Amino acid sequence: IAKKMKDRDLETVIVTGDKDMMQLVNEKISILDSMKERRIRVPEVRERFGVDPERVPDVLALAGDSSDNIPGVPGIGEKTAIKLLQEYGTLENLLKHSEKIPGKLGEKLRQSEKEAILFKELATIVTDAPIHFDFKNFQLKEPDGTALKELFTELEFHRLLSELAPEKTLST
């Protein structure tokens, strides 16, 4: 979907407070964090994670993400993960050069190499799923009052029923 949106030159806003979604941010995709009432674009992702959006899964792989049950590399927190990625660029490059990192930190990286790659895979949002849709189905149009009344009645949405347009719009 992200590719189709970009190909059509559409601006996309994802409404979420989930930090994982920050990896999707680019020049055409932003996040609206409705809990904090703020818009997140590339500069805000860089400010939050210290890396570009596409490197967010690398940070989460190293530091872990408790909300998604990703433990991360033992002994590496977010600050250390960001520092390492700022120096080495990617998780793969960091692991490739882990012998240059001295002490326990380097040892932990070398011991957790396979897990770190798995953690990155788990933290990465799949954007090439074969989803087919027609943009025409997303155009705004007048709601079907009769169908809404039936649905709201069935689901006992009394407040929404009372907010529907006057009866003349609902009649068939």
Local confidence band at 168 (pLDDT 50, 70, 90 cut-offs): very low
pLDDT of residue 139: 86
Mean pLDDT score of the chain, rounded to an integer? 90
pLDDT of residue 132: 83
What is the tens place of the pLDDT at every residue in 87-116?
Answer: 999 999 999 999 999 999 999 999 999 999
pLDDT of residue 172: 47
| Position 29 pLDDT exceeds 50 | yes
Q: Would you say 18 and 58 are in contact if contact means Cβ atoms under 8 Å apart?
A: no
| Position 150 pLDDT exceeds 90 | yes
Edge-first strand order for the sheet with 38-40 is 12-15, 29-33, 38-40
Compute the average pLDDT of residues 135-156. Answer: 89
Sign (positive or negative) of CA dihedral 44, 46, 48, 54: positive
| Position 170 pLDDT exceeds 70 | no
pTM of the full structure: 0.76
